[in-house]
Structures are given as structure tokens and as C-alpha cells.
Amino acid sequence: MTVDQPAVLTLKNVATLVNRNTPNETKILKNLDLQVFPGDFITVIGSNGAGKSTLFNTISGDIVPDEGQVLLNGQDITHDSVEKRTKFLSRVFQDPKMGTAPRMTVAENLLLAVKRGQKRGLGLRHLHANKARFKMLAATMGNGLAERLDTPTENLSGGQRQTLSFLMATLNRPEILLLDEHTAALDPKTSAGLMEQTSKTVAEQQLTCLMITHHMEDALKYGNRLLVLHAGKITLDVRGEQKAQMTKEQIMQLFVD
Ligand SMILES: Nc1ncnc2c1ncn2[C@@H]1O[C@H](COP(=O)(O)OP(=O)(O)OP(=O)(O)O)[C@@H](O)[C@H]1O
């Protein structure tokens, strides 16, 4: 992470309303400002309903904010569609079923990920040419995925499927990677394995990444920066040594307060 470089992603005074112009109108994100710098690995925590998913939906383009702007490398992308943003942004969701096409094999899914954002698509005939690379990539995950390249993803375990989603999301080195509780649906051992792999990939590729988690330990252990969201506002934003010094108890206290 380099704060002396210009921000990759900027949220300027972003506000999101629901039930607009009704008596139930509520502001979810409350004029939020955020600058994400190249190589930032930000863990995002907050109680249920704090606005974490709304924040990610705003970054991904699923939600257009009612006020404020979203900028990528200084360019206004506030009104750019989700599809347009897939050129620079990848997201992995909590549900292992979300990131992959179930009837397609592991290799075919990986080919889809390679094709993403390219003007001219790669035909399935390119599968063979990419097989060796896919096998090598899958082998780095160390969970048997490399032996299942020709298996439809619906026949994979949840852990393997989520690992594949993660691989697909990082294959083309996205400028921004959003991890939306991506290990929450996995058993503790599998979850820990994917978290280690995540940390390794983010470091190796020097990715800029935001990760929502409800695991305090993971929020503290991983990343260079920690955000706490509460009632639509960022109530804590620490990085580097300051983050490293934080304890679980201090974070819990923030939630109580
Ligand atoms: N379309 C909507 N209509 C009404 N309220 C909404 C809508 N979308 C979100 N909310 C409310 O906005 C608040 C923030 O929701 P959001 O899903 O962003 O929180 P979160 O921090 O991701 O929560 P969780 O940890 O439970 O996933 C919640 O109180 C939620 O009920």
C-alpha cells in the first residue's frame, strides 16, 4: 500500500437512501468518504445492518448513490453499470454457488474468467491451449481442484467451488477485488485455507482489495488497513502499525460503544 500514490478508488460524500420520498425514507450510507490506495488490503467489519453490503454494492455499481460520487483513478464512474465495472472490478460472494456456472466444468469456468472484459471472446477450442495453465493455477489452491478440471462445478465441494470463484476473480488481476464474506459459508479448516490463499494471492499480485468479514481474528490478522462501519458511517479507519496494535477487545468495545 502506498498512500503517497493517488487513490485507485474514491468515494466522495456518498449517501444512499431507501424508501425515497416516503415517510420511511432512510439514509443507509451517511455521506461517506473513503480513499483506497494502490495495494491497500482493507478488512471491513461492522454489526448487522451497518451498511457493509451497501458499501460494496455502491463500489460494484449494483447501487447508484443518491448523493456523492464514486471515482476510479480520478474518473467519475458513479453511473457506470455493473457490466462496465467488471473490466476493473471482481467480487466474490459468500455463497459458493454465486461465482461459477454450475453445468460448466472447472476449466470452462476458468476460460470464462479469462475471456471476461475481452472484446473478442475465446472459443471453447481455446480450452485445450489453456489446460496446462489452468491445472497449474488450480494446483496452487492445494485442495484437489487441479484434479477436477473436467468436473462440472455443481459436483464440487463448497470449498472447492469457492476456491474456484476466488481464482476466477483474481485471474485477470482486477484493479479492485471485493471479498464479500467469501469464507463465511465454509467449515473452519476450509475457511482458514482460503483465507491463507487469499492473503498470498493479494500479496503476490499486489492487489487492491476490500474484504468484509464477521471474523474479528481475520479482520485483525489480514490486510494493512481496517475499517469499522457503524450505522452508515466509518467509525474507525486504521492502517499499518496502528492496525497491527489493535486487539479483539478494543474492536469489541467499539461495537458496544
Ligand atoms: N432496499 C432496502 N430497503 C430498505 N432497507 C434496506 C434496503 N437495503 C438495505 N436496507 C437496510 O440498510 C441497512 C444496511 O444494510 P446492509 O445490508 O448494507 O448492512 P450490512 O452491514 O451488510 O449487514 P449484514 O452484516 O447483516 O450483512 C440495514 O438496516 C438494512 O435493513
Name residues whose C-beta falls within 8 Å of residue 238's C-beta, 6 or more positions apart in sequence.
Answer: 225, 226, 246
Which residue's C-alpha comes closest to atom 17 of ligand 1?
53
- What pLDDT, on a 0 to 100 scale, did the predictor assign at position 254? 81
- What pLDDT, on a 0 to 100 scale, did the predictor assign at position 257? 66
Taking a C-beta distance cutoff of 8 angstroms, is the pair 165, 92 a contact? yes
Q: Where in the chain is the domain with CATH 3.40.50.300?
A: 1-88+174-257
Exposed/middle/buried for 107, CB within 10 Å: 0-12, 13-18, 19+?
Answer: buried
- Cα(51) to ligand 1 centroid in Å equals 6
- What pLDDT, on a 0 to 100 scale, did the predictor assign at position 122? 61
Q: Report the first-to-last Cα separation within the chain, whole angstroms.
A: 30
Exposed/middle/buried for 83, CB within 10 Å: 0-12, 13-18, 19+?
Answer: exposed
Taking a C-beta distance cutoff of 8 angstroms, is the pair 52, 91 a contact? no
CATH architecture of 1-88+174-257: 3-Layer(aba) Sandwich (3.40)
Q: Give this prediction's pTM.
A: 0.93
Residue-wise pLDDT tens for the chain (257 aa)? Answer: 556 789 999 999 999 998 888 999 999 999 999 999 999 999 999 999 999 999 999 999 999 999 999 999 999 999 999 999 999 999 999 998 888 899 999 999 999 898 876 766 667 677 888 899 999 999 988 889 999 999 999 999 999 999 999 999 999 999 999 999 999 999 999 999 999 999 999 999 999 999 999 999 999 999 999 999 999 999 999 999 999 999 999 988 887 76
Which residue's C-alpha comes closest to atom 26 of ligand 1?
48
Question: Closest ligand 1 atom, CA of 50?
Answer: 21
- Cα(38) to ligand 1 centroid in Å equals 28
Counting ligand 1 atoms within 8 A of each CB, the residue from 16, 17, 47, 54 with the most, and so the one to mutate, is: 54
- What pLDDT, on a 0 to 100 scale, did the predictor assign at position 3? 63
Residues touching ligand 1 (Cβ under 6 Å) are 18, 28, 46, 48-54
